[in-house]
Amino acid sequence: MKKIFWSVVASMLMVACGTANKSQSEEEKVVSIEFSADSAYNYCAAQCQYGPRTMNSEAHEKCGEWIAEQFKKYGCEVELQKADLKGYDGTMLKSTNIIARSPKSDKPRIMICAHWDSRPWADNDPDEANWKKPVMAANDGASGVAVMLELARLLQQNDSAAVAVDFICFDAEDWGMPQWEDDTDADSWALGSQYWAEQYAAGSERPYEYGILLDMVGGQSATFYREAFSMHYASNIVDKVWQAASAAGYGSYFPAKDNGGITDDHVAVNQKAGIPCIDIINHYPDCEQSNFGPTWHTVSDDMQHIDKNTLQAVGQTLIQLLFSR
């Protein structure tokens, strides 16, 4: 990821103001099921143990198999959606979207998603000598999948959720055009989700009421702002999630503040698949290195910089959402 389109912010301001008061008037019962940050942390570390999961690498292949096995263990039926996708530089990327479906049920169905590939170049590293090194992607990749795996584990143990959840691990998100190129190309990012959304649009089934994308949900001192595409396409889902955060006691991680639009996997889910989908993505308003945080696309995006408190805040918020009626 990802570029920010600041122009979208201005046009979204009206929408944001119009919905700001709703969460205060509605009280929500606290869900007692506990998201385990330790467990999520371990899922994150397990992915990193394979090394950077860059496209076409052995670490990528092996970690993909591991992720699929975990979801199967938690009762999901797993489909590996394989495709050869062309990177901006012409590289053929062996992409696998890992689609983990929970058992059939009469409940409304939603999708939670995250990308699982690592960026091949640390092109935002303060040291130029690191730009062509791969990113471990503990936060920018593994953290989202880790939270999803912990949710899958808890959903298998507790059948009282209000919704059925499918988990989609998108591939080839982070092969986007590096900063050393003179050009930018928004379409060079999020190739796996673009492919998935095209297949979804071409198919006849429409199972999902809405979607939630998790991206960089384990960073130290992270906060999550209301992202502009999410507000544009699915402001009611943003409201629900921010309200759940507040009810679960993690409102400070989810301030009622707006961010620009971000090129991420949820864009294709909204625009190509037509599913209202929000992006829970970290935002560091005061970070000079990047508003995506100090480790974003650097060689420091490793397990040393993963914060269990952030995993807990995001995970417990989602538990609150999924188990509230």
Q: Note the residues at the interface with Zn ion (CB under 5 A).
A: 1, 119, 140, 174
Identify which of residues 5 and 105 has a Cβ nearer to Zn ion in the complex: 5
Tokens of 64: 């993909």
Which residue's CB is nearer to Zn ion, number 166 or number 264? 264
Query: What is the DSSP pairing of strand 208-215 with strand 277-283?
Result: parallel
- Closer residue to Zn ion in complex, CB, 115/226: 115
Residue 193 CA to residue 191 CA, distance in Å, equals 6
Is residue 62 packed enough to be buried (19+ CB in 10 Å), middle (13-18) or exposed (0-12)? middle
Phi and psi at residue 51, to the nearest 5°: 95, 180
Smallest separation (angstroms) from Zn ion to the CB of 119: 5
**CA-to-CA distance for 50 and 238, rounded, in angstroms?**
34
Query: What is the CB-side half-sphere exposure of residue 294 using CA atoms within 13 A?
Result: 10
Decide whether 166 or 174 has the Cβ nearer to Zn ion: 174
The CB-of-145 to Zn ion minimum distance in angstroms stands at 13
Give least dist CB 270 to Zn ion, A. Answer: 19
Q: Minimum distance from CB of 200 to Zn ion (Å)? A: 23
- When the beta carbons of 258 and 265 are compared against Zn ion, the nearer one is 265
Please state the closest distance from residue 297 (CB atom) to Zn ion, in A: 6
What phi, psi does 305 have (nearest 5°)?
-110, 15
Residues 172, 191: contact at Cβ < 8 Å?
yes
